[in-house]
A = this chain, B = another copy of it.
Amino acid sequence: MYRTHTNGELRLSHKGEMVTLAGWVQRVRELGGMTFVDLRDRYGLTQLVFSDDMDAALNEQVNKLGREFVIQAKGEVLERSSKNDQMPTGEIEIKVNELTLLNAAELPPFLIENETDGGEEIRMKYRYLDLRRPVMAQALMLRAKLIKAVREYLDNLDFVEVETPNLIKSTPEGARDFLVPSRLQKGSFYALPQSPQILKQLLMVGGMDRYYQIVKCYRDEDFRGDRQPEFTQIDCEMAFVEQEDVLSTFEGMVKHAFKKTIEVDLPDFVRMTYADAMKYYGNDKPDLRFDCKIVDLNEACSGTEFNVFNSALTDGKLIAGIVGKGMATYSRKQIDQLTDFVKEPHRGAGGMIYLKFNEDGSHKSSIDKFLTEEKVAELKAASGAETGDMLLIIVDKESVARKCLGDLRLELAKREDWIDPKAWSVFWVIDFPLFIEDEDTGEFTFAHHPFCSPHQEDLQYWDTEPLKVRAQTYDLIMNGNELCSGSIRIHDKEMQEKVFNSLGLSAEERDAKFGFMLNAFKYGAPPHGGLALGVDRWVMLMVGGTSIRDVIAFPKSTGGRDLMMDAPAQVPQASLEELGVKVVEV
């Protein structure tokens, strides 16, 4: 071993000991004839000191040291005369009497410090240097700690970690598969799993009873925002359970992991229906770190002279609003910005109505002339607004109005700084619809995936109002992010076939894609359910980051490139010939 201690380890209690340290030179300072070197490793920083009476050879060595040089230093632990209470080793320093240069370093292309001058692209290219920054190393360590806590919890509950294969059959689950040409069976392809969904269900058919796996999954999607082509999930499945069993088991897991990883005690998780989430927050993954619910105002808006209200009431549109706490002070310009926000094409509201309840008791609205004092009072009461607040109202098709208000709610939180960065909002959204209708084509598709079990009591709507059929599905929402998604699965062959039929799969397609699964269901499939939980996003939220790239050791850039390795890359023609494929010239 090149060291007796790490650079985060020595304390005043080690005073007088002879120690050997190794690590990277963080910086070299000269001060009053002395030279100070901060030595860094994953564990911390320790100050080395070279006194002015050191011998000439050592002096020469010290003079050559540069940033990021790798050195080994032997010496005595001394008590510092001027202590630094900002660092754990700040009470001591090492008086070095022997120095070994283990490796020199060129000047790194950016600062190896938490606050770095390196842009994202250069940090990705030199990721091995970026990872030396304490903030990066700590994120990876926290990630490991979180996963350890998760395993601990699941192991204790008799979950068995089972590895499922990564070279599987292409069975589209919604996204595009990465394909791997087979050399031994030319013209055929493996797919990389989008998730081990079917395999874990087959493990339940196989009696594994409780399964988990921390597993890489793959989706060949166009890069939208913060996506990675490979990502990690905590994948779990249980047999002989009902929905509440799954929820309580994994609520326990998340609480355990929070406690063990960042010492946060989460309160019990609310179970909110999808219907309520949409109604009150216009969003199936609401952020509950702040209040501000959507209020329905159809009733309160009846009986005015305002045509927009009246025709909305006739046409079955929705009039709804949210209350901007303390926002009666908003200027015309600020309100215009909010109006522009809801009118952005992907939100599609026609406009926004405001109603300020001024501190002086007066009010001001874009539709003042249509509002009697009684109506204003009624709107104030119905919306729960108080003096000093502003009510923002959207009138539109229900789906548009709720989405706009949901987005507006988040926008206000950002503008008004409503979110405590240390707060956590973690809860379940349950009872998603089984099917959703594609607005363009009118075709049905599954809301989660085609293996979710419908609620028994909703089967009556299957033929007449299929969109009303709820599935036994649940998402775990964390600070407004969908962290986890799961369901009680179908375990009955006929029901599974019924769902495939409703999705428009022919018997042929069905058997080609899912035949092995339907076949398995003939031989005694138990009731089962489970979920999958995104590790990257969870860790990102825990470290308070803004991109999952910051919690992945070697992430891909937008466009799916590894800038460090320069992948993907061209391969020799001979390799492709062996695989029996060729690149199509464009």
Contact = CB atoms under 8 A, between A and B. Distances in A.
A253 B458 CA distance: 54
A133 B408 CA distance: 56
A148 B6 CA distance: 27
Interface in A545-585: 552-556, 559-562, 564-571, 575-584
A392 to B, nearest CB: 40
Contacts of A525: 70, 103
Given A103-B492, A527-B2, A208 B140 contact: yes
Interface in A239-289: 240-242, 245
Contacts of A582: 581-582, 584
A189 interface: yes
A505 interface: no
A128 B523 contact: yes
A208 B70 contact: no
Interface stretch (A172-180, A338-346, A420-428): A172-180
A208 B42 contact: yes
Interface string A161-181: 111111111110000111111
Per DSSP, chain A at the interface is: loop
Contacts of A192: 166, 180
A523 B66 CA distance: 11
B165 A144 contact: no
A28 to B, nearest CB: 14
A163 B232 contact: yes
Interface string A223-244: 1000001101000000011100
A503 interface: no
A520 interface: yes
Contact of A182 (B104, B245, B524, B560): B560
A103 B526 contact: yes
Interface stretch (A197-205, A297-305, A378-386, A431-439): A197-205
What is the copy number of this chain in the assembly? 2
Contacts of A104: 524
Contacts of A581: 181, 581-584
A187 interface: yes
A186 B586 contact: yes
A50 interface: no
Contact of A169 (B160, B190, B562, B575): B562
Contact of A516 (B130, B182, B208, B566): B566
Contacts of A578: 176
A207 B583 CA distance: 40
A406 to B, nearest CB: 32
A353 interface: no
A31 interface: no
A126 B2 contact: no
A3 interface: yes
Given A3-B240, A202-B128, A569 B188 contact: yes
Given A163-B232, A182-B568, A68 B187 contact: no
A203 B131 contact: yes
B568 A127 contact: no
A121 to B, nearest CB: 15
A155 interface: yes
Contacts of A141: 160
A260 to B, nearest CB: 12
Contacts of A24: 207, 524, 526
Interface in A139-159: 140-141, 144, 147-148, 151, 155
B131 A207 contact: yes
A1 interface: yes
A522 interface: yes
Contact of A127 (B126, B206, B223, B561): B206
Contacts of A296: none
Contacts of A127: 202, 206
B185 A559 contact: yes
Contact of A240 (B2, B106, B170): B2
B553 A163 contact: yes
A206 B128 contact: yes
Contacts of A151: 148, 151
A69 interface: yes
A2 B529 CA distance: 12
A208 to B, nearest CB: 6
A520 B132 CA distance: 13
A41 B184 contact: no
B187 A570 contact: yes
Contacts of A419: none
Contacts of A41: 207, 209
7 contacts: A2-B241, A131-B208, A167-B229, A177-B575, A186-B586, A189-B571, A199-B553
